[in-house]
Amino acid sequence: MFGVVLDQRLVNWPQDGGKVGERLKTFLMKHPVAREILVDAEFDENDVHWRKNLAHYSMTFAGDGFVLVGDAAAFMDPFYSPGMDWISFTTSRAAALVAAQRRGEPMSEFVERHNRDFATSHRCWFEAVYKDKYEYMGEFDLMSTALIFDLCLYYLGVASRPFKSGENALLVPPFSSMRVGPIFRFMRTYNRRFAEIARRRRKRRALGKTNRARRCLIPGFKLHSGNAKLFLQGFAKWARIEVGELLSSQTRAS
C-alpha cells in the first residue's frame, strides 16, 4: 500500500493524464525516493482511492441521544497518527457520558462540557501542530527542530499522563485544560515561525538548499527526564536557524 497526502495550496495535483493510479504514479515519480521504490510498481485499478479535503470536524460532538467518537468526530491529518490518540480520548469520554446517563444523572451540563472540551482540543491541537506544517515539512532544519519539540511535548503532555494518573487521564483531551495554555502558545509560536521562514525561502527559491545528505537521527523518546536534554537541543537548533536567517537577510540587503 502506498499513499500521498498533500497541501493543495502548495502542490499541483495532476488533474489530467488518465486514471487516478496513473496520475498518482506520475506524481510520485518526481520524487527520487518514491521513484526508486515504485519504478516497477503496478497499481490495482479496484484499489486506488482519491479523497479531497480529507480533514474535517463536527460542530457538535455530543447531543440528545448521540456522541461521536474517532473519525466520526474529527480528522486532522495522518502525520504523527493523531487519530489513535483521538480515538482513545473520544471513546473514553463517550463511555463516561453513557455511564452518567444510565445512572440517571442530569446530562445537559456534561454534554455542554464535552462539546466545549473537544472543540477546544481540536482547535488547539490543529493550530499547535498541523496548521501550515506542510509549508516547511520538506526543510530539514525546520522540520527536524519541530520534530524534537513536537515529540518531547507529546511524551510530556500526552503519552505520560495515563502512566501517571491512570485511565482517568483519558477523560481530559489534549489542550482542553487551562493549565496547558503556555504549552499551546509555545507550540503555535514555533509552528507559525517555521512556516513563515519556509514561505520566505520559497519566495527567494531557497527551499531545500541545505537538505542534501542530512539525517535526523535522534536517540528516541522514553518516559523519563532525559528528554529535557533533547528539548534543549531543539532550542539550540532554533537559535542557529534564526541566526542563519538573519545573516541571509543581511547578505541580500548588502
Q: Could you tell me the mean pLDDT of each successive run of 10 residues in the chain, 254 residues long?
A: 84 78 84 85 82 89 95 94 95 96 94 96 96 95 95 89 91 91 95 97 90 80 74 94 88 71
Q: What is the pLDDT of residue 210?
A: 83
What type of residue sits at position 134? Answer: Y
Q: What is the pLDDT of residue 177?
A: 87
Q: What is the pLDDT of residue 156?
A: 86
CA triple 103-109-111, angle to 5 deg: 80
Q: What is the pLDDT of residue 200?
A: 94
Residue with grid cell 463536527, as numbered in its chain: 58
**pTM check: above 0.85:** yes
Q: Which of 63, 103, 97 is nearest to 171 (CA)?
A: 97
According to DSSP, residue 62 is labeled E
What type of residue sits at position 206? Answer: A
Instruction: Give yes or no for a contact between 143 and 218, defined as CB atoms under 8 angstroms apart.
Output: no
Q: What is the pLDDT of residue 247?
A: 86
Q: What is the pLDDT of residue 225?
A: 67
What beta strand segments (E) does the chain contain?
Answer: 56-57, 62-63, 66-67, 74-75
Neighbours of 88 (CB within 10 A): 18
Q: What is the pLDDT of residue 33?
A: 83
